[in-house]
Amino acid sequence: MKNKDLSIIIVDDLQFSRIVVKTALKKAGYDGVRLADSATMALQMLSEKPADVVLADWMMPEMNGLELTDHIRQRDEEIGTYTAIILFTANESIDLLVEAFDHGVDDYLRKPPNPHELAARVNAAARIALMQNDMLETSRQMEDTIKNLEEVAMIDTLTGAGNRRFLMSQLKSHLLEASSRIGGVCLALLHIDQLDEIRKQKGENIADELLVGIQRRLRRIIRPTDAIARIDGDLFAVLMHYTNIDSYKVSVMERLQSGINQRAFKTSAEDIRITVSIGVNFYSGDQELISANEMLKQSMKKLNEARDKGNDSIAF
């Protein structure tokens, strides 16, 4: 992507700071720069036209940079896009920077920014946004493919994920391939800890909205080649195939869990926070081949172990 094609929003309540950053970017060849004097104005701009990169001051009145990041990430999730976010900060606290990354910030710059470093960081952030949006487009194409499976009853009509039949078909194929090529297959089962209580208190429609939201968030977190299925009503399955056994890391499940739990889900009633318990089983192709039913059984056993530990647990 050429610099002139990038859409950038600079958010700062100080006019001087906005002009300094815009001037530096213009000298670096970035033409599509818009200025916002508040986070509210930036969100309005985003609703009118998406941006590849948002540069925002951390400390602003009304809504700070982290709160703005939460709003942008929620918006991205709802409309299926990704916006790279860079925060400007004068604070060098490591704890605060870790907090920023936990909120979904892509990068940060010290104030005042060096013009050359600013241009380089914006370019890197734009590449992140481009890559993420390409992956989301691939995911949308895969979702369209899955929708075509409705004719053979292999998708869950509520969420658009695969159903149990789809999962077992995919699982059988992946196990055979892993066995013949010494690859690996990971099957993770996710249980929404609070869903029964939410269903009782808020009703079936709100529970359904949460299930749809969880499927969408899962699709954004996992790789485009991974498969999602909804089985037994409140239970999701994530199927991952690895051509190289060593590529599988248990930290993948922790990122999956934190990605689900990180932000509240918007529903027509209110924003609702949930946690998930996860049971994980990994099959290595250098072991004796097991059946899809056995793989599911072992994952279910691990899920029960996770639920016995309490909400928000993982069992491998």
Rounded distance between C-alpha atoms, residue 290 and residue 296, angstroms? 10
Amino acid 3: pLDDT: 59
The β-bridge partners of 279 are: 189, 315
Rounded distance between C-alpha atoms, residue 1 and residue 74, angstroms? 25
Amino acid 150: pLDDT: 56
Amino acid 151: pLDDT: 53
Amino acid 103: pLDDT: 85
pLDDT (tens digit, 9 = 90+) per residue, 115-160? 999 999 999 999 999 998 888 888 888 777 766 665 567 888 899 8
Structure token digits, residue 130: 């481009």
pLDDT (tens digit, 9 = 90+) per residue, 186-222? 999 999 999 999 999 999 999 999 999 999 999 988 9
Amino acid 147: pLDDT: 67
Domains and CATH numbers, the chain: 3-137 (3.40.50.2300), 153-315 (3.30.70.270)
With b for 16 or more beta-carbon neighbours within 10 A and e for fewer, the 247-285 pattern comes to: ebeeebbeebbebbbebebebeeeebebebbbbbbbbeb
Amino acid 148: pLDDT: 66
pLDDT (tens digit, 9 = 90+) per residue, 244-279? 888 888 889 998 999 998 889 999 999 999 999 999
Structure token digits, residue 78: 């709802």
Q: Is the pTM higher than 0.75?
A: no
Q: Is the pLDDT of residue 302 over 90?
A: yes
